[in-house]
Amino acid sequence: MLHNELLREKVYESVASVLPITIIVLLLTITIAPLTPGTMMLFLFGAVLLIVGMGFFTLGVDMSMIPMGEGIGVQLSKAKKIILPLLVCFVLGVLITIAEPDLQVLAEQVPSIPNMVLIWTVAIGVGLFLVVSQIRIIFGIPLSYILIFFYAIVFLLTFFVPEDFIPVSFDSGGVTTGPVTVPFIMALGIGMASVRSDKNSSSDSFGLTAICSIGPILSVMILGICYSPEDAAYSMVELSELDSTREVAMQFARAFPAYMEEVAVALIPIAGVFIVFQCIFRRFHSRQLLRILSGFVYSYIGLVLFLTGVNVGFMPAGQYIGSAVAGSSQPWVLIPIGMVIGYFIVKAEPAVQVLTRQVEDVTNGSITQKAIGHSLSIGIAFSVGIAMLRILTGLNIMWFLVPGYLISLVMTFFVPQIFTGIAFDSGGVASGPMTTTFLLPLAMGACEAMGGNVLTDAFGIVAMVAMTPLLTIQMLGLADNVRKRIRKRKLILQLREVEDSIIYFD
């Protein structure tokens, strides 16, 4: 009964997240970007699956992924020898990354490199950098030092990587921080940092996702240098003509088995790790185990529904709309339309829901879900606007990424450490399945209509989405710092006035 009430609450939250972007798309389809009836039905069915799937998934994460990740993190931090937790972190990073559904999609779209070579390269990159994260927490190394050092290496390597392969490298950092990976890694970080009692323990609980996003970028860049691929292109979305609601239903029916298998492959390694952990440490009692098992079932159902909805329903709509708007007499409207879509679409990312909720819990409400949500939406709006500008002008993405990351890294020295961790985590979290299945086809459709180079002009939108939250969240932290200083000064002035009045009366 309690689970039903919680599920109903999660579904209501999903409606509030998905409804705005659904309304925006519907308005576009009856004005400047009319969809065919079949594609419209795909989109509407997809929106329903999205809402229900997100409700199941967020409930499942609360019941299983978060307590499981925190439990493993706490146990690792209690280990007397450092080698064992580092080895476990590496294995966890590799297994969870191989399980990420978005990575399978990326591997299929890079024909110049065998699928398993790319998957294992990305997985090893995440595993190694999860070890780096554990070392940082153990020794209390500031997150800003880690980020500056490794991003300097990333941008140095761009001079040696084939130009067409750079988008694949940056996109790999985004796809690895998907709906399966993020909840577990974030909970793992909270668990590892919770054992410590110093003042930086809460801020150190964030930053694992940020660091783990760097690993795939570096590893895929090195792979690109070794392979020297001539073709790193992505395949365009194939759009089929649908004449009846039965054909629309059949599209979803054919997709369900594939995503059921994909999500099962994604969750089984995590379940296996948990079973081994429980057999060794006996951390959870029977009632907790039953709750975690129920959470796994909810997570499985939710991810199947969500991924089917976005891939089958949202992807064709995104490509159609991008193509129609760019092919109109006023293609410049791509920029404001893209910004509006970007502002609302981030609210429908399942991992974003997990991040904002955990931020509020860890900070005891001092950093609210609403504040983080608004900052993320503003950042994604700017990133999609810039992406549309690039499609119209052909500007090189490095003109935006280099100064953006440079400013964000400099800001790490001026904002509270916890905001730095949240900001860089947000960059990875925001570039999830909604970005790859709606915004990316939107950009590809627009680029095709404009006659541009899809590989260099359209791709990179994932990298932009991952970059702008770094700036907006840290600006939120900077504003919070300024407010605290102002309040402190006012308090000092008030105390001085009280002291002066006491002296005067004496």
21-45 pLDDT per residue, tens: 889 888 888 888 888 888 888 889 9
**Per-residue confidence (pLDDT) for residue 119, from 0 to 100:** 82
Q: Is residue 117 part of a domain?
A: yes
For the residues 127-156, what does the mean pLDDT come to? Answer: 88
Is 240 part of any domain?
Answer: no
CB-CB contact of 366 with 467 (8 Å): no
Residue, of 16 and 234, whose pLDDT is higher: 16
| 120 or 101, which is more confident | 120
Q: Quote the mean pLDDT of the chain.
A: 81
Mean pLDDT of 190-206: 64
Does residue 20 lie within any of the structural domains?
A: yes
Report if residue 267 sits inside a domain: yes
Q: State residue 423's pLDDT score.
A: 84
Q: In 197-238, where does DSSP find H-type helix?
A: 201-204, 208-227
Give the model's confidence band at 196: pLDDT under 50 very low, under 70 low, under 90 confident, else very high: low
How high is the pLDDT of residue 37? 83
- Write out the DSSP string of 278-347: HHHH--S-HHHHHHHHHHHHHHHHHHHHHHHIIIIIIHHHHHHHHHHHHTSS-GGGHHHHHHHHHHHHGG
Q: Cβ distance 339 to 442 under 8 Å?
A: no
pLDDT of residue 102: 67
Structure tokens at 283: 């951390």
Q: Are 444 and 394 in contact (CB under 8 A)?
A: no
pLDDT at position 205 is: 63
How many domains would you assign to the chain?
1
The pLDDT of residue 106 is 66
User: In the structure, what pLDDT confidence band is assigned to residue 435 with cuts at 50, 70 and 90?
Assistant: confident
Tell me which of 484 and 59 has the higher pLDDT: 59
Model's pTM, two decimal places? 0.81
Q: At 237, is the pLDDT very low, low, confident or very high (cuts 50, 70, 90)? A: low
| Owner of token pair 């024909």 | 111
The pLDDT of residue 346: 85
Non-local (6+) Cβ contacts of 488 within 8 A are: none
Selection from 466, 404, 462 nearest residue 429 by Cα? 466
Q: Residue written as tokens 């990333």?
A: 154
What is the spatial distance between Cα 342 and Cα 380, in angstroms, rounded to a whole number? 5
pLDDT at 329: 83
Q: Helix (H, G, I), strand (E, B), or coil: what is residue 206?
A: coil
Tokens of 293: 């098992």
What is the pLDDT at residue 93?
A: 85
The rounded radius of gyration (Å) of the Cα atoms in the chain is: 23
At 144, the pLDDT band (50, 70, 90 cuts) reads: confident
Per-residue confidence at 202, pLDDT binned at 50, 70, 90? Answer: low
Q: Taking 80 as the threshold, does the pLDDT of residue 116 lie above it?
A: no
The answer to the question of residue 17 being in a domain is yes
Q: Which domain holds residue 212?
A: 2-235+245-505
Q: Cβ(15)–Cβ(306) under 8 Å? A: no
Residue 264 lies in a domain: yes
